[in-house]
């Protein structure tokens, strides 16, 4: 099976997806946090800086699990991490 992904206007074969995630993990997690806080302004009141850092760490874990799932061509690997 030949999987291909679109990442920031860059078409990637599945085997390159892990490299992309590894290379851009900090940028991606920072952007996700920025968008979360933008879409949910009340997070500024709910989460202190330590809580925001924990959220960022969780996002990075999810990105790694997503890369594992792509490597294994198994959505269930990633979905299992999201449901727990």
Q: How far apart are CA 35 and CA 18, in angstroms?
A: 23
**pTM (two decimals):** 0.71
Strands (E), 20-76: none
| Interval 35-56: pLDDT, tens | 999 999 999 999 999 999 999 9
So what's the pLDDT on residue 54? 95
pLDDT for 3 = 40
Report yes or no: 61 and 68 within 8 Å, Cβ to Cβ. Answer: no
Residue 22 pLDDT grade (very low, low, confident, very high; cuts 50, 70, 90): confident
The structural domains of the chain, with segments of one domain joined by +, span 4-83
Q: Say if CB 4 and CB 10 are below 8 A apart.
A: no
Mean pLDDT of the 63-74 span: 83
Q: What is the DSSP string of 29-40?
A: HHHHHHHHHHH-
């Amino acid at each position: 099976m030949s999987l291909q992904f679109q990442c920031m206007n860059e078409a990637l074969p599945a085997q390159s997806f892990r490299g992309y995630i590894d290379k851009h993990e900090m940028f991606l997690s920072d952007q996700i946090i920025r968008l979360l806080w933008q879409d949910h302004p009340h997070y500024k009141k709910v989460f202190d800086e330590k809580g925001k850092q924990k959220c960022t760490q969780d996002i990075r874990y999810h990105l790694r699990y997503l890369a594992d799932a792509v490597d294994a061509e198994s959505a269930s690997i990633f979905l299992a991490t999201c449901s727990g």
